[in-house]
Structure 1
Amino acid sequence: MAGYFKLVDAHDDGFRVKLTAPDGTLVAVSTFYASKEEAIAGIELIREIAGTGPIVDHSRQEAPDQGELVFGVQASHRRGEGVREEA
């Protein structure tokens, strides 16, 4: 079974989307959407970004050991290879 998007009521009369892993683990919660139509459009955008978006690391800098996995991408000696960093 694949993971799934769960459309839920938000406490302020809107909607949120919860991304859930196949085992039921909550992976992410969306921003607030005022309508179901906006929430469904948000799901489509999430699908597009998740399939094609690069990893942008805004975390504090820590030098991983060679061969260590960083965000599911093999780390390398050269900065910027595998993980995109922005200032």
Structure 2
Amino acid sequence: MAGYFKLVDAHDDGFRVKLTAPDGTLVAVSTFYATKEEAIAGIELIREIAGTGPVVDHSRVESSEQDELFFGLQSAPDRDGRVRRDA
């Protein structure tokens, strides 16, 4: 079974989307949406970003082994079109 999106009521009379892993682990919670239609549009946007969005690392480097975790992941290009690790 794949992960899934769960549309839930927000405490402030709107809606939120929860992205859940196949084992039921909560992965992410969306921003507030005023209507179900906005929430559904948000799900489509999340799907697009998750499938095509680059990884932009703004964390500190603790060891050279950690840099290997990003090997093979797409990074965001800078203004010159070069891919680099942001600090």
Structure 2, gaps ≥5 residues long = 77-84
Q: What pairs up with 1:5-16 in 2 under 5 angstroms?
A: 5-16=5-16
Q: How many residues end up aligned between the 2 structures?
A: 79
Cα gap change, 1:46 to 1:65, in 2 (>3 Å): same
Instruction: Show the counterpart of 1:78.
Output: none
Cα gap change, 1:38 to 1:67, in 2 (>3 Å): closer
- Indicate the SS of the match to 1:47: helix
Shift in Å at residue 68 of structure 1? Answer: 3.6
Instruction: Show the counterpart of 1:62.
Output: 62
Shift in Å at residue 33 of structure 1? Answer: 0.5
Q: What is the percentage of aligned positions where both structures have the same residue?
A: 80
1:52 partnered with 2:52: yes
* Residue type of the alignment partner of 1:65: E
* TM-score, scaled relative to structure 1: 0.77
- Indicate the SS of the match to 2:65: coil
- Indicate the SS of the match to 1:43: helix
Q: More strand by proportion, 1 or 2?
A: 1
The alignment yields a C-alpha RMSD, in angstroms, of: 2.3
* TM-score, scaled relative to structure 2: 0.77
Instruction: Show the counterpart of 2:79.
Output: none
Structure 1, gaps ≥5 residues long = 76-80
